[in-house]
Structure 1
Amino acid sequence: MNETKNIVLAEDNTTLSQLLKFRLQKEGYTAFIAQDGKQAIELIEKHNPNLILTDIMMPFISGLEVISHVKNKLKLETPIIVFSAAGQEEMVLKAFNLGATDFMAKPFSPNELIIRIKRILI
């Protein structure tokens, strides 16, 4: 029997975060939702997730700062998938330079996200 994989989802759009939480739970994952980067860091430190999903543009602490905190301060190798509105190439490049694993432009397909998650969490 596989152990349940924990995922922290940092997304300030409540509708999208609830949709993704439902979809992740349907696939058998445990999803912890953060409405901003500050909450995301708290959840990451508390739950040590198998995967982090984060928007780049969020209140208080950005997704880039979340990536930096995870990789540099916590020294975790946790895979991170970043999403952002299209047309923010500079932000995407920064995210990869900080250690992001993958990127998806918004709007994206939840089905495609699930496929990417499964590929990372083999």
Structure 2
Amino acid sequence: MQKKKIVVAEDNSTLSMLLKFRLEKEGHELFIAPDGKQALEFIQEHEPNMIITDIMMPFVNGLEVISHVRFKLNKDTPIIVFSAAGQEEMVLKAFNLGANDFMSKPFSPNELMIRVNKLLD
């Protein structure tokens, strides 16, 4: 399997470390961004095969990340969005902007891996 590049935008460092560990164990190359601004820099620099983003983040939020990827960069890179429970309106906005999948926090790392592998195939 070829190494896939994944940008993870998540301001919770514990969660991003967990994701990094789990996804690298599956053989992926990870770029961890603590906010959407850094995520956009990684996306432009590394042209990832997938983007995983939290919705609520400092500086640039997940919706802005999706919008930038879809409309400014014109890319159809698979995007998985995370959000805390009760953010239904944000989730609908994310799908309207072009997100491919959604998981509510807290989530199962195993379920995430299934979703990641499905979108990367």
Answer yes or no: same fold by TM over 0.5: yes
**Percent identical residues:** 72
| Structure 1 CA distance for aligned equivalents of residues 64 and 36 of structure 2 | 8
Instruction: Give the TM-score taking structure 2 as reference length.
Output: 0.99
Instruction: Give the TM-score taking structure 1 as reference length.
Output: 0.98
| Structure 1 CA distance for aligned equivalents of residues 79 and 3 of structure 2 | 18
Q: Equivalent residues in 2 for 1:46-65 (5 A)?
A: 46-65=45-64
Which letter maps to 1:43?
Answer: F
Q: Equivalent residues in 2 for 1:7-86 (5 A)?
A: 7-86=6-85
Q: How many residues align?
A: 121
Q: Which residue matches 1:117?
A: 116
| Structure 2 CA distance for aligned equivalents of residues 21 and 42 of structure 1 | 18
- Aligned-residue CA RMSD in angstroms? 0.5
Structure 2: gaps of 5 or more residues: none
Q: Which residue matches 2:89?
A: 90
Which letter maps to 2:31?
Answer: F
Shift of 1:48: 0.4
Shift of 1:53: 0.1
Structure 1: gaps of 5 or more residues: none
| Structure 2 CA distance for aligned equivalents of residues 110 and 61 of structure 1 | 25
Q: Which runs of 4+ in 1 moved over 2 A?
A: none
Shift of 1:12: 0.2
| Structure 1 CA distance for aligned equivalents of residues 82 and 2 of structure 2 | 26
SS in structure 2 at match of 1:15: helix
